[in-house]
Protein backbone atom coordinates (compact mmCIF):
# COMPACT_ATOMS: atom_id res chain seq x y z
CA UNK A 1 0.00 0.00 0.00
CA UNK A 2 1.16 3.52 -0.73
CA UNK A 3 2.33 5.35 2.38
CA UNK A 4 1.43 8.89 3.34
CA UNK A 5 3.78 11.50 1.92
CA UNK A 6 5.85 13.29 4.59
CA UNK A 7 4.45 16.67 5.58
CA UNK A 8 1.35 16.28 3.42
CA UNK A 9 -2.20 16.14 4.75
CA UNK A 10 -4.45 13.95 2.66
CA UNK A 11 -7.82 15.53 1.85
CA UNK A 12 -11.07 13.91 2.87
CA UNK A 13 -12.84 12.70 -0.23
CA UNK A 14 -16.60 12.98 -0.44
CA UNK A 15 -16.87 10.30 -3.11
CA UNK A 16 -14.82 7.32 -4.27
CA UNK A 17 -15.00 5.90 -7.80
CA UNK A 18 -13.35 2.59 -8.68
CA UNK A 19 -12.92 1.64 -12.33
CA UNK A 20 -11.06 -1.66 -12.80
CA UNK A 21 -9.01 -2.08 -15.96
CA UNK A 22 -7.01 -5.17 -16.79
CA UNK A 23 -5.01 -7.13 -19.37
CA UNK A 24 -2.16 -4.67 -19.78
CA UNK A 25 1.19 -4.74 -18.04
CA UNK A 26 2.56 -1.92 -15.91
CA UNK A 27 5.08 -0.83 -18.54
CA UNK A 28 2.41 -0.46 -21.24
CA UNK A 29 0.24 1.77 -19.06
CA UNK A 30 2.35 3.93 -16.73
CA UNK A 31 4.07 6.62 -18.77
CA UNK A 32 2.25 5.59 -21.95
CA UNK A 33 1.38 8.44 -24.32
CA UNK A 34 -1.79 6.56 -25.30
CA UNK A 35 -3.19 6.93 -21.75
CA UNK A 36 -2.66 10.62 -20.98
CA UNK A 37 -5.58 11.11 -18.62
CA UNK A 38 -4.78 8.13 -16.42
CA UNK A 39 -1.17 9.22 -16.24
CA UNK A 40 -2.23 12.75 -15.34
CA UNK A 41 -4.06 11.31 -12.33
CA UNK A 42 -0.91 9.39 -11.37
CA UNK A 43 1.15 12.57 -11.58
CA UNK A 44 -1.36 14.60 -9.57
CA UNK A 45 -2.41 12.09 -6.90
CA UNK A 46 -0.03 9.14 -6.66
CA UNK A 47 0.69 5.56 -7.70
CA UNK A 48 0.70 2.39 -5.59
CA UNK A 49 3.61 0.41 -7.03
CA UNK A 50 3.38 -2.58 -4.71
CA UNK A 51 -0.25 -3.45 -5.41
CA UNK A 52 -0.56 -6.93 -6.87
CA UNK A 53 -3.19 -9.54 -7.68
CA UNK A 54 -4.04 -11.98 -4.92
CA UNK A 55 -4.82 -14.95 -7.14
CA UNK A 56 -5.71 -16.09 -10.65
CA UNK A 57 -8.04 -16.04 -12.60
CA UNK A 58 -10.34 -13.02 -12.35
CA UNK A 59 -13.17 -14.14 -10.09
CA UNK A 60 -11.00 -14.73 -7.04
CA UNK A 61 -9.47 -11.27 -7.30
CA UNK A 62 -12.86 -9.61 -7.67
CA UNK A 63 -14.16 -11.41 -4.59
CA UNK A 64 -11.04 -10.38 -2.67
CA UNK A 65 -11.54 -6.81 -3.84
CA UNK A 66 -15.11 -6.67 -2.49
CA UNK A 67 -15.11 -9.15 0.42
CA UNK A 68 -11.47 -9.48 1.43
CA UNK A 69 -11.58 -13.23 0.72
CA UNK A 70 -10.76 -15.54 -2.18
CA UNK A 71 -14.15 -17.26 -2.20
CA UNK A 72 -13.38 -19.29 -5.31
CA UNK A 73 -11.13 -19.36 -8.36
CA UNK A 74 -13.70 -21.17 -10.48
CA UNK A 75 -14.75 -18.70 -13.18
CA UNK A 76 -17.75 -20.82 -14.21
CA UNK A 77 -19.94 -19.99 -11.20
CA UNK A 78 -22.89 -17.66 -11.70
CA UNK A 79 -24.88 -15.89 -8.97
CA UNK A 80 -27.14 -18.39 -7.22
CA UNK A 81 -24.98 -21.42 -8.10
CA UNK A 82 -23.99 -23.75 -5.27
CA UNK A 83 -20.21 -23.58 -4.88
CA UNK A 84 -18.34 -26.81 -4.28
CA UNK A 85 -15.94 -27.16 -1.36
CA UNK A 86 -13.49 -28.78 -3.78
CA UNK A 87 -12.79 -25.48 -5.55
CA UNK A 88 -14.10 -22.85 -3.11
CA UNK A 89 -13.36 -21.69 0.40
CA UNK A 90 -15.10 -23.29 3.39
CA UNK A 91 -16.97 -20.03 3.92
CA UNK A 92 -18.19 -19.90 0.32
CA UNK A 93 -19.37 -23.51 0.16
CA UNK A 94 -21.16 -23.45 3.53
CA UNK A 95 -24.95 -23.38 3.71
CA UNK A 96 -25.38 -25.83 0.86
CA UNK A 97 -22.84 -24.04 -1.32
CA UNK A 98 -24.47 -20.63 -0.92
CA UNK A 99 -22.40 -19.29 1.95
CA UNK A 100 -20.78 -16.76 -0.36
CA UNK A 101 -24.09 -14.93 -0.78
CA UNK A 102 -24.00 -13.48 2.73
CA UNK A 103 -20.26 -12.94 3.16
CA UNK A 104 -19.43 -9.53 4.54
CA UNK A 105 -18.46 -7.14 1.75
CA UNK A 106 -17.72 -3.48 1.10
CA UNK A 107 -21.26 -2.63 -0.06
CA UNK A 108 -22.79 -4.26 3.01
CA UNK A 109 -20.41 -2.36 5.28
CA UNK A 110 -21.26 0.93 3.57
CA UNK A 111 -24.96 0.29 4.12
CA UNK A 112 -24.36 -0.50 7.80
CA UNK A 113 -22.48 2.81 8.08
CA UNK A 114 -25.35 4.70 6.46
CA UNK A 115 -23.36 5.45 3.31
CA UNK A 116 -24.50 5.17 -0.30
CA UNK A 117 -23.06 3.08 -3.12
CA UNK A 118 -23.93 1.94 -6.60
CA UNK A 119 -22.60 -0.60 -9.08
CA UNK A 120 -22.46 0.40 -12.78
CA UNK A 121 -21.40 -2.59 -14.91
CA UNK A 122 -21.37 -1.97 -18.65
CA UNK A 123 -23.79 -4.56 -20.01
CA UNK A 124 -24.08 -3.26 -23.58
CA UNK A 125 -21.31 -5.48 -24.92
CA UNK A 126 -19.65 -8.67 -23.75
CA UNK A 127 -20.53 -8.81 -20.06
CA UNK A 128 -18.94 -11.29 -17.67
CA UNK A 129 -20.78 -11.60 -14.36
CA UNK A 130 -17.60 -12.94 -12.77
CA UNK A 131 -16.20 -9.41 -13.13
CA UNK A 132 -19.15 -8.04 -11.15
CA UNK A 133 -18.85 -9.66 -7.69
CA UNK A 134 -21.63 -7.77 -5.92
CA UNK A 135 -24.10 -9.57 -8.18
CA UNK A 136 -23.32 -12.70 -6.14
CA UNK A 137 -24.23 -11.13 -2.80
CA UNK A 138 -27.73 -11.20 -1.28
CA UNK A 139 -26.94 -9.01 1.75
CA UNK A 140 -26.79 -5.82 -0.32
CA UNK A 141 -29.52 -3.59 -1.73
CA UNK A 142 -30.15 -5.13 -5.14
CA UNK A 143 -31.63 -1.94 -6.57
CA UNK A 144 -28.13 -0.44 -6.35
CA UNK A 145 -26.90 -2.93 -8.96
CA UNK A 146 -27.45 -0.63 -11.90
CA UNK A 147 -26.12 -0.38 -15.46
CA UNK A 148 -23.42 1.87 -16.87
CA UNK A 149 -26.05 3.72 -18.90
CA UNK A 150 -27.38 5.02 -15.56
CA UNK A 151 -24.01 6.50 -14.59
CA UNK A 152 -24.39 9.76 -16.51
CA UNK A 153 -27.86 10.31 -15.07
CA UNK A 154 -26.64 9.74 -11.53
CA UNK A 155 -23.78 12.20 -12.06
CA UNK A 156 -26.42 14.88 -12.47
CA UNK A 157 -28.14 14.33 -9.13
CA UNK A 158 -27.25 15.50 -5.65
CA UNK A 159 -26.32 13.67 -3.61
CA UNK A 160 -24.46 11.30 -5.90
CA UNK A 161 -23.67 7.83 -4.54
CA UNK A 162 -20.63 8.04 -2.26
CA UNK A 163 -19.09 4.82 -3.51
CA UNK A 164 -19.95 4.13 -7.15
CA UNK A 165 -18.17 1.20 -8.75
CA UNK A 166 -18.01 1.23 -12.55
CA UNK A 167 -16.99 -1.92 -14.37
CA UNK A 168 -16.39 -1.54 -18.13
CA UNK A 169 -17.44 -4.38 -20.38
CA UNK A 170 -15.40 -7.54 -20.07
CA UNK A 171 -11.65 -7.07 -19.89
CA UNK A 172 -10.08 -3.93 -21.25
CA UNK A 173 -7.67 -4.89 -24.01
CA UNK A 174 -6.75 -1.49 -25.44
CA UNK A 175 -4.48 1.09 -23.90
CA UNK A 176 -6.95 3.76 -25.03
CA UNK A 177 -9.11 2.77 -22.05
CA UNK A 178 -7.94 5.59 -19.81
CA UNK A 179 -7.08 8.13 -22.44
CA UNK A 180 -9.97 10.45 -21.59
CA UNK A 181 -11.97 11.35 -18.48
CA UNK A 182 -15.68 10.81 -18.25
CA UNK A 183 -17.52 13.97 -19.18
CA UNK A 184 -18.77 15.37 -15.89
CA UNK A 185 -22.51 15.89 -15.96
CA UNK A 186 -23.23 16.76 -12.34
CA UNK A 187 -23.28 19.85 -10.22
CA UNK A 188 -20.04 21.27 -8.76
CA UNK A 189 -20.41 19.32 -5.51
CA UNK A 190 -19.65 16.08 -7.34
CA UNK A 191 -17.55 17.15 -10.32
CA UNK A 192 -14.34 16.38 -8.44
CA UNK A 193 -15.07 12.69 -8.10
CA UNK A 194 -16.57 12.27 -11.57
CA UNK A 195 -13.34 13.49 -13.11
CA UNK A 196 -11.45 10.81 -11.23
CA UNK A 197 -13.13 8.07 -13.26
CA UNK A 198 -11.77 6.70 -16.50
CA UNK A 199 -13.39 4.39 -18.97
CA UNK A 200 -13.17 3.08 -22.49
CA UNK A 201 -14.07 5.59 -25.24
CA UNK A 202 -16.89 3.32 -26.41
CA UNK A 203 -18.52 3.52 -23.00
CA UNK A 204 -18.53 7.31 -23.15
CA UNK A 205 -20.80 7.52 -26.20
CA UNK A 206 -24.05 8.16 -24.35
Is the pLDDT at 130 greater than 80, yes or no? yes
The span from the CA of 163 to the CA of 142, in Å, is 15
**Is pLDDT larger for residue 76 or for residue 48?**
76
User: Domain spans of the chain?
Assistant: 26-53+104-204
Whether the link from the prior residue into 70 is cis, omega within 30° of 0, is no
**Is pLDDT larger for residue 115 or for residue 87?**
87
* CB contact set of 63 (below 8 Å; sequence gap of 6+): 69, 70, 71, 72, 100, 133, 136
CB distance 89 to 63 below 8 Å: no
| pTM summary value | 0.72
CB distance 197 to 166 below 8 Å: yes
Over residues 107-123, mean pLDDT: 90
Q: Is 2 helix (H, G, I), strand (E, B) or coil?
A: coil
**Is pLDDT larger for residue 88 or for residue 123?**
88
Amino acid sequence: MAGRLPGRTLPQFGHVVIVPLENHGYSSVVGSFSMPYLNSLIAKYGLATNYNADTHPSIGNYFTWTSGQILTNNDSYSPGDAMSCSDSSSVACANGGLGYETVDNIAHELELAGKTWKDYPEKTGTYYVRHDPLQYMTNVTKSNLANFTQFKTDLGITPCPIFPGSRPTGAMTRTTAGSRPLTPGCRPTSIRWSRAATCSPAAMDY
